[in-house]
Amino acid sequence: MRILGLDIGTKRIGVAVSDPLGITAQSVSVVECKGSEKDLERIVALVEEYRATEIVVGVPYNMDGSEGPQAQQVRRFMAEIAVRSGLPVREWDERLSTVAAERVLLEADMSRAKRRKVVDKLAAAIILQGFLDKRRGELLGS
């Protein structure tokens, strides 16, 4: 059972995947956005490549918990992913995931150019790891 994690932005989509046991998340790639149709095709190809059984998508809520235009756009894209992939698509509150990813990369003393190339897939891994940790906690009853 592998779960695909997505951090959907306007220019790039960060991609992460869980290990087969659903314990850890690993960053795997970044999809450069080229229009909804091509982006959906690439995501479905990644679902097949990693044999994912579920997809987790970060939804960018506003800091007060409300939904803005970007969250609504991500939700529409999530619905398309569900139709195309035939898999359950779960949402995860992604507030501050990109900030956390940036912080990790800054602490690693990575240059701005290198950070820009990996921040989206690291954010996807942070989103997916949060989901996995919560699910594991629920399964363990904590």
What pLDDT sits at residue 5? 97
**Average of per-residue pLDDT across 14-19:** 97
126: phi then psi, degrees, rounded to nearest 5? -65, -45
Q: How many whole angstroms separate alpha carbon 78 and alpha carbon 59?
A: 9
pLDDT-based confidence at 138, cuts 50/70/90?
A: confident
What class has domain 2-140? Answer: alpha beta
Residue 142, pLDDT above cutoff 60: no
Which amino acid is residue 30, in one-letter code?
V
Q: How many whole angstroms separate alpha carbon 27 and alpha carbon 68?
A: 27
Q: How many whole angstroms separate alpha carbon 58 and alpha carbon 128?
A: 8
Q: How many whole angstroms separate alpha carbon 113 and alpha carbon 18?
A: 27
- pLDDT by residue (tens digit) across 32-76? 999 999 999 999 999 999 999 999 999 988 778 788 888 999 999
Q: How many whole angstroms separate alpha carbon 64 and alpha carbon 136?
A: 27
